[in-house]
Amino acid sequence: MKSVPNAKVGVLYLNNDGRDFLEGVRVGFGESAAKFIVAEGSVEPTDPTVDSQVIALRAAGVDVLINTLPTKAAAQTIRKAYYMDWRPTHFISYVSNSIATVLQPAGLEKSVGLLRIT
């Protein structure tokens, strides 16, 4: 909030236990959550891709993406954003910060600039 005071935040989360991540993001923003979080993308565990959710977040004007998805979906998000030439400030959760299971499958060149949430 201090670094990007006018950020338009989007959150990608898995629609099961991932709702806890979403709630954690809301709690982190506190009373400013409604100001900063402009879009949320819910992904079902059975969704074959996250393309439609990523497209919707970009269309919502998101410039800070908080990606709490598991490995396969996180890699898909990185690739889709890259191919759409969309470069939000992109945070990935500890669940998907693996080089071997997320960044390499996504493409290391497509993963440049990602930030890890600890």
Number of domains in the chain: 1
pLDDT at 103: 93
The amino acid at residue 52 is S
In a domain, 51, yes or no: yes
In a domain, 15, yes or no: yes
In a domain, 19, yes or no: yes
Please state, in angstroms and rounded to a whole number, the distance separating the CA atoms of residues 23 and 20: 5
Q: What is the CATH number of the domain that holds 76?
A: 3.40.50.2300
Q: Which domain holds residue 59?
A: 9-116
pLDDT at 48: 96
Please state, in angstroms and rounded to a whole number, the distance separating the CA atoms of residues 111 and 88: 12
In a domain, 48, yes or no: yes
In a domain, 1, yes or no: no
Q: What is the mean pLDDT of residues 23-38?
A: 94
pLDDT at 94: 86
In a domain, 24, yes or no: yes
Query: Please, which pLDDT band fits residue 16 given cuts at 50, 70 and 90?
Result: confident
pLDDT at 19: 83
Looking at every residue in the chain, the average pLDDT score rounds to 93
